[in-house]
Amino acid sequence: MAHALPVSPLALPLPELKEVRGVRLGAAEAGIRYKGRTDLVLAEFVPGTTVAGVFTRSKCPGAPVDWCRDILPTGEARALVVNAGNANVFTGRAGRETCKATAEATALLAGCTPQAVYLASTGVIGEILPHERMTAALPALHEALSATGWEAAARGIMTTDTFPKAAVRTAKLNGTDVLIQGIAKGSGMVAPDMATMLAFVATDAALPAPVLQALLSQGVKTTFNCITVDSDTSTSDMVLLFATGAAANDELSASTQANAEALTDFREALQGVLHDLAQLVIRDGEGATKLMTISVTGAVSDDSAWRVAMAIGNSPLVKTAVAGEDANWGRIVMAVGKCGEPADRDTLSVSIGGVCIARDGTVVPGYDETPVVAHMKGHEIDIAVDLGLGNGTARAWSCDLTHGYIDINGSYRS
């Protein structure tokens, strides 16, 4: 039985959600693990919907990840089923059978093949997921699907999340107005090597699957792949992007590159949705009270800058210093030095809250800690590091590490 958690002090309200043409969705109580709350989400897409996906690089992925990877090459989707409370991971043959049974039951309702049904699960690892509870709840849920079911879906996929997460943007594509809207869940076990735990984005744009895939892969790199709550990559991570084509814009060729000028507005809007969802996950980090923005410049390459930024964001000593509102810049220097990337103590500079604290291998003469102390008491902490070695840059987001993280994870299965 899940215990109610206090809402994160970093929480943001849901934006005004819109109807994405070609998508109907909703949530129901299937009693998979939780009592008295929704835990099963179903979305149905119109025929012709294309799909793209990015998945965890964990070597121990859940059965739904394998299922989605296997069917993604078709590039088509008609339905999505998501459950919360049980991750269907490390469940062997039973896990695969649950995926097959769920997809077949959904396909009958949607009038499609099981290979057009995408599946996602989140929750406890190593427990058999009873597909009978899901398949029993699906017919009534399908009957109640609505174009306005986005908030219900956002709430239905939550586990230790303390607030629902959604983002929306509009864009022009070949002169046609299109909408992009998404939901996400994630609070702990978040240090994505591709994505967050779960995120689902839909657009009414008409886009070929290869173009959609290129856009998603590019967008994830600087959003979901730049966040960390606890350095742990989930077995269940996935981001799926669906394009219904209901906006009826002039289609692009399947060979169109993600950086093509015709995609500029759409690409920027999609990036905005992915960025917002990734930020919301960090704002709901388990036990989090502070959002950390970590900017790294002067690295030998962008990839090197990213690894330095993530090392800072993943450091328990940096995270606990931030939790304690201690401007201990020595811990930042420690994190830079340990991560194996090129760095030089004598060219390194560190700033917190816009105040340069250390430069050229030593503390700034006459450094006044007063404004930095005040900055550390806020909810949003800015850390900037310049390595002084090259032109590589990156930005990552993390959160502090508090007793709340231990409280939540120490009793996760109880």
- Does 228 reside within a domain? yes
Torsion region of 296: left, alpha or beta (phi above 0 gives left; psi -120 to 50 gives alpha): beta
Long-range contacts of residues 254-259, Cβ cutoff 8 Å, at least 24 apart: 254/208, 254/209, 254/210, 254/211, 255/210, 256/208, 256/211, 257/214, 258/211, 258/214, 258/215, 258/217, 258/218, 259/218
And the tokens for 226?
Answer: 């730049």
* Angstrom distance (rounded) from CA 129 to CA 64: 11
Whether 295 and 344 share a structural domain: yes
Q: Which residues contact 257 (CB under 8 A, 6 or more apart)?
A: 214
Whether 81 and 193 share a structural domain: yes
- Residue 185 marked as a ligand binder: yes
- Residue 325 marked as a ligand binder: no
Whether 247 and 195 share a structural domain: yes
Whether 234 and 150 share a structural domain: yes
| Residue that finishes a domain, picked among 241, 262, 283 | 283
Residue-level pLDDT at 22: 98
pTM exceeding the 0.85 threshold for the entire prediction: yes
* Angstrom distance (rounded) from CA 340 to CA 392: 16
pLDDT in tens, 263-319: 999 999 999 999 999 999 999 987 789 999 999 999 999 999 999 999 999 999 999
Residue-level pLDDT at 1: 41
- Does 391 reside within a domain? yes
Task: Give me the mean pLDDT over the 237-262 stretch.
Answer: 96
* Angstrom distance (rounded) from CA 139 to CA 157: 19
Residue showing tokens 């009592």 = 35
| Residue that finishes a domain, picked among 283, 312, 338 | 283
For residue 236, pLDDT over 80 is answered with no
Whether 151 and 275 share a structural domain: yes
Cα–Cα distance list, 396 to 253, 296, 302, 305 (Å) = 34, 9, 12, 10
pLDDT in tens, 180-231: 999 999 876 656 665 457 999 999 999 999 999 999 999 999 999 999 887 7
| Beta-strand pair 50-55/380-386 | unpaired
- Residue 370 marked as a ligand binder: no
Whether 377 and 275 share a structural domain: no
pLDDT in tens, 72-108: 999 999 999 999 989 898 889 999 999 999 999 999 9
Task: Give me the mean pLDDT over the 58-84 stretch.
Answer: 94
State the CATH number of the domain containing residue 375.
3.10.20.340
* Angstrom distance (rounded) from CA 301 to CA 257: 24
Q: Which residues contact 308 (CB under 8 A, 6 or more apart)?
A: 296, 299, 335, 336, 339, 341, 343, 385, 387, 394
User: How many other C-beta atoms are found inside a 10 Å radius of the C-beta of residue 405?
Assistant: 21
DSSP H helices, 324-402, are: 329-338, 370-376
State the CATH number of the domain containing residue 31.
3.60.70.12
Whether 101 and 30 share a structural domain: yes
DSSP string of 97-135?
HHHHHHHHHHHHHHTS-GGGEEEEEEEESSS---HHHHH
Whether 129 and 214 share a structural domain: yes
Whether 276 and 301 share a structural domain: no
Please give the residue range of the domain that contains residue 351.
Answer: 291-410
Strand ranges in 310-408 using DSSP code E only, listed in sequence order: 349-352, 355-359, 362-363, 380-386, 392-399
Asked whether 126 and 90 are in contact (CB, 8 A), the reply is: yes
- Which is the catalytic residue, given 160, 196, 223, 228? 196
- Does 277 reside within a domain? yes
Q: Which residues contact 81 (CB under 8 A, 6 or more apart)?
A: 40, 41, 42, 102, 103, 106, 117, 118, 119, 120, 134, 138
The residue that leads in pLDDT, 221 or 409, is: 221
Whether 43 and 171 share a structural domain: yes
- Does 145 reside within a domain? yes
Whether 196 and 278 share a structural domain: yes
Share of the chain above pLDDT 70, in %: 95
- Does 273 reside within a domain? yes
User: Which of 261, 121, 272 is CA-nearest to residue 203?
Assistant: 272
Q: Which of 124-128, 142-146, 236-240, 409-413 has the highest mean pLDDT?
A: 142-146
The domain total for the chain is 2
Whether 258 and 373 share a structural domain: no
- Residue 159 marked as a ligand binder: yes
**122 given a catalytic annotation:** no
